[in-house]
């Protein structure tokens, strides 16, 4: 029947038209959807950032635990912890070498250690690369993942250098030698009467904006050959680089204390701090790692010295 076909075609066209109308968005609907998506992203972003920060802090803690194990393995092999920086009036076979370089065999970097030994035999000055391939070789376990700058070597005053987030604790400052890792140190377990669980060996501190301090392989430090502010640091460090030029020359003499820092502030190289929220990780002499808040600044001098015999315990 012709009228039935006509009705059917009309109904089909009407249905198609209705379907097309339902699939379309009005401008207002589109703006509402975009606004909802924006709100959801704004709500989710802080949570994502917190998860990422927590993961970075956990990985940083694990790095320090591995470094602590390496230091204890070195002690087991040599019956002494490594020197914070080697010199011995220029007679050391590895002049200006960092304690981090000496634990390379114990952080699965045996080949790099072999090449480092050969490099010092060929060229005692660590700044010549080659043969000193370690100068700009990034060792991931020596860097905190929160500092993305350290995933690659950086240029600093004509050098191409790899860095560390972890500095040995030399005690109060570069002159006191009352910590565990300092210039030509040879500290044994029995030389820590304050107790290894109450004595800091290593702490966090990011390199400064000019990348002049924080070289993991070797370095002079703020005063040659102490290595201070480069691979070792005191908890009440003083600025002894006022005549050395560079950004740190304009910094106050100190002493500096454990407090928040900034990657853009050159003076923050003179104290422990981290990119984690509220404090920094510290490796103790017994190999344990503790996150200390900046409120612990007053007790750090007692924790940094190995033989102060102060009544102190780790803050909660």
Average pLDDT estimate for 129-138:
97
8 Å CB contact between 229 and 249: no
Residue 251, pLDDT above cutoff 60: yes
Residue 2, pLDDT above cutoff 50: no
pLDDT at 10: 46
Residue 239, pLDDT above cutoff 90: yes
8 Å CB contact between 247 and 208: yes
Residue 43 within a domain: no
Residue 41 within a domain: no
- How far apart CA 170 and CA 27 sit, in angstroms, is 66
Residue 81 within a domain: yes
Residue 14 within a domain: no
Average model confidence (pLDDT) across the chain: 89
Least confident of 12-26, 126-140, 175-189, 287-301: 12-26
Residue 19 within a domain: no
Residue 183, pLDDT above cutoff 60: yes
pLDDT at 35: 83
**For residue range 261-303, what is the model confidence (pLDDT) as tens digits?**
999 999 999 999 999 999 999 999 999 999 999 999 999 999 9
Residue 40 within a domain: no
- How far apart CA 260 and CA 283 sit, in angstroms, is 19
**For residue range 4-37, what is the model confidence (pLDDT) as tens digits?**
454 545 445 544 555 555 556 687 877 888 888 8
Instruction: Please give the model's pTM, rounded to 2 decimal places.
Output: 0.84
**For residue range 35-78, what is the model confidence (pLDDT) as tens digits?**
888 887 777 666 666 778 889 999 999 999 999 999 999 999 99
Residue 67 within a domain: yes
pLDDT at 148: 95
- How far apart CA 285 and CA 88 sit, in angstroms, is 24
CA–CA distances in Å: residue 26 to residues 16, 19, 35, 40, 119: 19, 15, 14, 21, 70
Least confident of 12-26, 64-78, 105-119, 190-204: 12-26
β-bridge partners, 154: 161
Tell me the percentage of the chain whose pLDDT exceeds 90. 76
Output the furthest CA–CA distance in the chain (Å, rounded).
113
What number of CA atoms fall less than 13 Å from residue 144's CA on the CB side?
27
In the chain, the number of structural domains is 1
When pLDDT is cut at 50, 70 and 90, the band that residue 120 belongs to is very high
Residue 287 within a domain: yes
- How far apart CA 248 and CA 73 sit, in angstroms, is 36
- Domain of 103? 62-304
pLDDT at 37: 83
8 Å CB contact between 197 and 285: yes
């Amino acid at each position: 029947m012709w009228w039935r076909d006509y009705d059917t075609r009309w109904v089909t066209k009407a249905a198609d038209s209705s379907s097309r109308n339902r699939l379309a968005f009005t401008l207002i609907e589109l703006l509402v959807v975009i606004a909802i998506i924006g709100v959801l992203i704004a709500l989710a972003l802080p949570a994502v950032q917190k998860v990422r920060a927590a993961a970075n802090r956990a990985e940083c803690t694990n790095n320090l635990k591995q470094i602590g194990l390496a230091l204890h393995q070195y002690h087991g092999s040599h019956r002494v912890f490594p020197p914070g920086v080697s010199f011995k009036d220029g007679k050391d076979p590895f002049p200006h070498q960092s304690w981090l370089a000496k634990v390379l065999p114990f952080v699965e970097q045996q080949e790099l250690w072999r090449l480092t030994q050969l490099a010092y035999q060929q060229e005692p000055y660590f700044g010549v690369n080659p043969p000193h391939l370690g100068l700009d070789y990034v060792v991931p376990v020596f860097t905190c993942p929160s500092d993305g700058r350290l995933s690659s070597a950086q240029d600093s005053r004509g050098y191409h250098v790899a860095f560390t987030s972890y500095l040995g604790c030399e005690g109060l400052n570069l002159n006191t030698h009352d910590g565990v890792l300092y210039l030509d140190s040879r500290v044994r377990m029995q030389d820590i009467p304050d107790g290894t669980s109450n004595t800091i060996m290593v702490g966090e501190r990011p390199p400064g904006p000019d990348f002049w301090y924080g070289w993991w392989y070797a370095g002079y430090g703020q005063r040659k050959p102490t290595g201070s502010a480069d691979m070792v640091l005191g908890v009440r460090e003083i600025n002894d680089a006022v005549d050395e030029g560079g950004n740190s020359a304009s910094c106050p003499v100190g002493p500096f204390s454990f407090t928040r820092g900034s990657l853009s502030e050159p003076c923050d190289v003179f104290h422990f701090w981290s990119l984690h929220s509220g404090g920094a990780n510290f490796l103790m002499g017994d190999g344990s790692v503790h996150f200390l808040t900046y409120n612990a600044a007053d007790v750090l001098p007692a924790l940094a010295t190995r033989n102060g015999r102060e009544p102190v315990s780790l803050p909660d």
